[in-house]
Amino acid sequence: MTRLFNEPSDFADEAVDGFVAANRRWVRKVHGGVVRTAASAPGSVALVVGGGSGHYPAFGGLVGPGLAAGAALGNLFASPSWQQVRSVSKSAHNGGGVLLSYGNYAGDVLNFDRAQARLREEGIRVETVTITDDVASASAAEKHRRRGIAGDFTVFKAAGAAAAAGYSLDEVVRVAQKANDRTRSIGVAFTGCSLPGADEPLFTVPEGRMAVGLGIHGEPGISEQDVPTAAGLAELLVSTLLAELPDGVERADGQRVAVILNGLGSVKYEELFVVYAKIDELLTAAGVEVVEPEVGELVTSFDMAGASLTLFWLDDELESLWAAPVDAPAYKKGSVDPSSAAAEIHDEEELAEPIPESSEESRQAAALVVTALDAIKVVIDENADELGRIDAVAGDGDHGIGMQRGVTAAVEAAHDALDRGAGAKTVLDRAGDAWSDRAGGTSGALWGSALGAVGGALTDSAAADADAVARGVAQATTEILEFGAVVGDKTMVDVLVPFSTALTERVQAGEHLTDAWKTSADIASDAAAATKDLLPKMGRARPHAEKSLGTPDAGAVSLGLIVQSVATVLATSTK
């Protein structure tokens, strides 16, 4: 249980502030995360890593010479927003291009990919390597769908050392991809983890039982079994990983392997050493040469009691990069030449942008938009705990907190824009950007796109009519579908598509927006409830599909709540 916090929704931001205050020799805070304090060699590649908070020392603790140049830090267990990734990347960029590397999770992919596109538009060369080391999360035939867990570290270490050695961006990418291809991990947990302010952990494990194949965001394991002895756990971990050798490694005998026995948060170092003694014995018996093993906490999951084993199958190049020196807040190896020069930091902290001119009619529509956003905030605040509970059934339980952060930022941005004379389009644009930036994660990216799409159908010079609103919702649906989900995947799409279809049909039939929206909202609520009978086919819930049967999708439920709250605002505004 997490005991020390102030406001739970501020926990991640306050943790970053404290981390930076304690480690100013290594890192400086910028919008969205941290970058190195010391200057890197001019023209060198900048490795930018990142993901949700709650995994320390990943990701901020790995920023320093020989490792990452910057880390984008999202909310607890939620990916950073694309704005955060872009900001950190621009601050870390040193003339040699940027490599983005992170665990293969849907929200991270959405936001890092969007940041990559924006950076490329700005003339910065950017490449990406996602990490897929967790053998429990997908079969060997679908390795590309696996998630990244403690194997993140081996890829970061190899890529960071290659960048420090002066490799070109193409060569750093090659090294990172090779490191990922030759890394395998498996984890177990004895208890779940608890987010700040939560009364219950994200999942529970019966006394005397152990979850096998868990994720690092509080996702429950793929299976359960009785807790073995330390030696029994070592045998399970080693045998699982030796059963799947990387391509090009035909047999374990005679191979060199870097080993990580990673604590997930609450298992003591002495316990890990007891397990590691048997791991070393088993690998030696299999003819494997262990090279510079690591036993400790490198990629954690808040206060989870558990551990994971990672095998990194080396060749000559990877071994030299694994052994290369590092000086980061949470990881040190060898001796790094100190740099007295401070890095020139380009901080992307947003300044107040000018407000475009607007008409009185559009400002009236903007005021209604702000009233609707205020109502959305109320309904999200009232249901945040329940949304988190639903999300935790087969996911990571962060949906409620993420939605709260997003809508709070959207409301603040919308009020600020309205107070400065903005029309409906600008209010929605600013609200969407703020939601995406503050919330991060998949929901942040989707809601940012949705608000921006509706804003794109309106103008700052004319009144907002029903046709424009329906077009905006239809465009939002199109953009969200481009993220990959389809009806039946157990996502918000299962609600958004029927809602948008019904709204368009009724508006085109001549219904008043208030009536058309209310009827469509009722359809959306029914669709949200019906997701309880679906199996998830995307996102973090996919490996735990059966666990979610009987429980609706959190994103679908939140969308249903939101459109109903807007229906109430519209009905009130026409009285």
Q: Which of 346, 340, 271, 264 is nearest to 306 (CA)?
A: 264
- Residue linked to tokens 């870097």: 258
Contact assessment for residue 175 and residue 162, using Cβ atoms and an 8 Å cutoff: yes
Tokens 């424009």 identify what position?
468
Cis peptide before 57 (omega within 30 of 0): yes
Phi and psi angles of residue 327, each rounded to the nearest 5 degrees, phi first: -140, 90
Q: Which amino acid belongs to residue 418? A: L
Angle made by CA atoms 33, 442, 15, in degrees to the nearest 5: 30
Residue with tokens 């020069």: 341
Query: What span, in angstroms and rounded, lies between the C-alpha atoms of 535 and 551?
Result: 10
User: Order of strands across the sheet with 46-53?
Assistant: 27-30, 33-36, 70-76, 46-53, 98-103, 126-131
| Pairwise CA distance, residues 217 & 107, whole Å | 12
- Say which of 217, 399, 512, 544 is annotated catalytic: 217
Residue 510, C-beta contacts closer than 8 angstroms, at least 6 positions apart: none
CA 423 and chain centroid, separation? 32
- d(C-alpha 104, C-alpha 113), whole Å: 12
- Cβ atoms of residues 369 and 414 within 8 Å: yes
Q: Which residues contact 281 (CB under 8 A, 6 or more apart)?
A: 234
The 8-class DSSP code of residue 531 comes to G
**What is the identity of the amino acid at 104?**
N
Residues in contact with 541: Cβ distance below 8 Å, sequence separation at least 6, in sequence order = 219, 393, 394, 395, 490, 547, 548, 553
**Which segments of 79-168 does DSSP mark as H helices, in order?**
82-92, 106-121, 152-164
Q: Is the CB of residue 42 less than 8 Å from the CB of residue 97?
A: no
φ, ψ of residue 104 to 5 degrees: the values are -80, 80
Do 110 and 76 form a contact (C-beta atoms < 8 A)?
no
Can you tell me which residue has the tokens 């159908």?
457
Active site annotation includes 217 = yes
**Residues designated catalytic:** 217
